[in-house]
Structure 1
Amino acid sequence: MDVLDRLTEKYGKYVEDNLIKYLSIDLSAEFKDAVIYQIATGGKRLRPLLTLATAEAISGDFKRALPAAAIVELIHNYSLIYDDIIDRGDLRRGKPTTRKAFGDYAAILIGIWYREAIEEAVLDTPRPLEFAREVAKVIKAIDEGERLDILFEMAGRDDPYFISARWKNVSLDDYIRMVSLKTGVLIAASAKFGAMSATEDKSLWDSAWNFGMNAGIAFQIVDDVLDIFGDPAKFGKEIGKDIKEHKRGNIAVLLGLQELDEGSRSELLGILSKPSVTDADARRGVELLARTNAKERALQLADRYRERALRELARLPSSRDLEDLAAFIVQRQF
């Protein structure tokens, strides 16, 4: 049994019951299936498991952190609903997305419902005012990360804002900032919210946040590498999807472009700039990147963030669950 299975067995029913609890407040019966659909499609529940494991490691009591665990999973799914609207996504976790199942307008309303369910959960935390401030910061950060990710794309958007504001160049520092916001912040908050639920010691809050941030950056770097070079059977996603989405904000693409000769670089940039990138184009892009050391360099970068995460983890109380979960986050292969 791996760590996710073990922690799901330990905490899973509490997480699911609380998600339903907060989404169901004032919910009309005829709207319930549509609202619950997003969380019913599944997911690893990595973030709430991290919240509860952190709280239990610090205080021995995970139940005080149940509202916080609901918050981070609701934020995650709230962001996915809008990601799929923005990206016109039809499939997620092998099932129709909320927008595909119910339509874009309904998905917008469902997203608003999730945002307010988050507020209901905030009221049940040990320190609602501090949690409310943190939640606002987290959601704004994710929004900014999504904005940057889109601005780093080379084509594919016809919105006037994104056409006019698209970035001409993207540096490694730009990439780290974007993934810190888009991915790192919510994993950081997941750990911090567990600490905030368990103790008044703000040094532990800070260590939990720093652990989660560095782990989240490592997580996203590995995810980017797997998008380009992964085994589809293990990764469970289409390989080269980021190339199809015209992304320079993928670490393998970013580093590969630095190494390719002028002709190959122009070819890859041409693929990323096409209005519509075909499967054959994506395969060709992967072939070009495979000529470089992008994979090795990216994994070395992920390892540096992994080491930082583990140094911060060492400042928290020792816990097998938290340590195993941390290992999964920073060393994942799927």
Structure 2
Amino acid sequence: MDVLSKLHAKYGEAVEQALERYLSIDLAPDFRDAVMYQVKTGGKRLRPLLTLATAEAISGQWKPALPAAAIVELIHNYSLIYDDIIDRGDLRRGMPTVRKAYGDNAAILIGIWYREAIEEAVLDTPKPTLFAREVAKVIKAIDEGERLDILFEYAGREDPYFVKARWREVTLDDYIKMVSLKTGVLIGAAAKWGALSVSDDAEIADAAWNFGLNAGVAFQVIDDVLDIYGDPKKFGKEIGKDIKEHKRGNAVVAVGLSKLPPDKRDRLLHILSLQNVGEAEVREAVSLLDSVGAREEALKIAHKYREEAERHLARIPNNETLRELLYFILERQY
């Protein structure tokens, strides 16, 4: 049994009940199925499990961190609902997205409901004012990360702001900044909020934050590798989707663009610029990336951030389960 399965067995039912409880407050019966759809599609629940595991590592208690665990998972799903609207995504976790199942307008309303359910959960944390500020910072960071991700796309958007403001060049440093905001910050918050729920020790909270932030960057790099090279049955997403969406904000693509000779770099950028990127173009793009070992270099980046996460993890007591989670991130296939 892997570490995620063990944590699901220990905390999973409590997490699901908390999500349902906060989403159900004032919910109209005929809107219930639509609102619950996103969380009922499943997901790893990595973030809330990390919150509870961190709290228990620090204090021996995890139940005081349940509201924080619900918050972090609600933020995650809230962001996915809007991410799929923005990217016109039809498939997530092997199932139709909220926008595909219910339409864009309903998805917008469902997203608003999730945002207010987060506020309900904040009121139940041990430190509501502090958590309110934390939540605002994290959602703004994710929003900024999403903005940068779109600005890094090479083509495909008609929105006047994104057409005008699109970045001409995207470096690996730009990529790391973007994923730190879009993904790293929430995983950092998951660990930090577990600490804040059970402790007033600022150094422990800082260690948890930096552990999670670096683990989150590693997680996203692995996600990017799986986007291009993963098994769609295990991954639950369309393989090569980032190439079809013209994204330079994918670790493998970013590495490839930094290493390809000018003629091949131009060819990859041409593929990313096509209005409709088909399977043949995806295969050609992957071949170009393979020619400079972009996959292997991306994995090296993931391991670098794993090592940094481990450095901060050493400051957290009873960290064996958290270490197992970190290695799960690096070894996962879904």
* TM-score category, normalised to shorter length: over 0.9
Match of 1:119 in 2: 119
Deviation at 1:190, TM superposition (A): 0.3
CA distance in structure 2 between the aligned counterparts of 1:107 and 1:296, rounded to whole angstroms: 37
Q: Aligned to 1:15, what secondary structure does the other structure show?
A: helix
Which residue matches 1:328?
328
Partners of 1:173 and 1:266 in 2: how far apart?
Answer: 20
Query: Which residue type is aligned with residue 36 of structure 1?
Result: M
Question: Offset at 1:302?
Answer: 1.4
| Structure 1 segment 82-97 matched on structure 2, within 5 A | 82-97=82-97
Answer yes or no: is 1:291 the counterpart of 2:291: yes
Match of 1:16 in 2: 16
Whether the 8 Å CA contact 2:219–2:329 is kept in 1: the answer is yes
Aligned pairs for 1:225-264 within 5 A? 225-264=225-264
1:152 alignment partner in structure 2: 152
In the alignment, which residue of structure 1 is the partner of 2:134? 134
Question: Does the alignment pair 1:52 with 2:75?
Answer: no
Q: Secondary structure at the match of 1:193?
A: helix
Q: Residue 96 and residue 237 in structure 1: after superposition, are their counterparts in 2 closer, same or farther (change >3 A)? A: closer
What is the number of residues matched between the two proteins?
A: 334
How far is 1:234 from its partner?
Answer: 4.4
Task: Please state whether the residue corresponding to 2:316 is helix, strand or coil.
Answer: coil
Measured in 1, the distance between the counterparts of 2:245 and 2:166 equals 14
Question: Which residue number in structure 1 is paired with residue 43 of structure 2?
Answer: 43
Q: Is the 8 A contact 1:89 1:97 kept in 2?
A: yes
For the Cα contact (< 8 Å) 2:91–2:237, is it kept in 1?
Answer: no
Farther-moved stretch of structure 1 (227-236 vs 3-12)? 227-236
Q: In percent, how many aligned pairs have the same letter?
A: 70
Q: In the aligned structure 2, how far is the partner of 1:109 from the partner of 1:183?
A: 23
Q: What's the counterpart of residue 194 of structure 1?
A: 194
Q: CA deviation at 1:61?
A: 0.7
- Structure 1 residue 233: deviation in Å? 4.9
Please report how far the alpha carbon of residue 192 of structure 1 lies from its aligned counterpart in structure 2 after TM superposition.
0.3
SS in 2 for 1:6: helix
Instruction: Kindly report the root-mean-square deviation, in angstroms, between the aligned alpha carbons of the 2 structures.
Output: 1.2
SS of the residue 1:80 aligns to = helix
Counterparts of 1:310-329 in structure 2 under 5 Å? 310-329=310-329
Please tell me whether residue 30 in structure 1 is matched to residue 30 in structure 2: yes
Following superposition, the deviation at residue 227 of structure 1 comes to 2.0
**For structure 1, which runs of at least 5 residues remain unmatched after alignment?**
none
Residue in 1 that maps onto 2:161: 161
Displacement of 1:231 after TM fit? 4.1
How far apart are residue 15 of structure 1 and its match? 0.1
Paired letter, 1:72: V
Contact 2:215 2:305 in 1 (8 A): yes
Unaligned runs of 5+ in 2: none
Q: Deviation per CA, 1:12-51, whole angstroms, max 9, x where unpaired? A: 0000000000001111111111111110111010000000
Query: 1:309 aligned to 2:321?
Result: no
Q: Is this contact kept in 2: 1:219–1:332, CA < 8 A?
A: no
Give the Cα–Cα distance (whole angstroms) in 2 for the partners of residues 112 and 236 of structure 1.
25
After superposition, the C-alpha distances for 1:203-223 in whole angstroms (9 at most, x for unaligned) are: 110000000000001111122
Structure 2 letter corresponding to 1:257:
L
User: AA paired with 1:299?
Assistant: L
Q: Report the 3-state secondary structure (helix = DSSP H, G, I; strand = E; otherwise coil) of the residue aligned with 1:76.
A: helix
1:237-271 Cα offsets, whole Å, 9 max, x none, are 33322111101111211111222223222211100
Q: How far apart, CA to CA, are the structure 2 residues paired with 1:235 and 1:99? A: 20
TM-score by length of 1: 0.97
Q: Per the alignment, in what secondary structure is the counterpart of residue 126 of structure 1?
A: coil
CA distance in 2, matches of 1:26, 1:233: 37
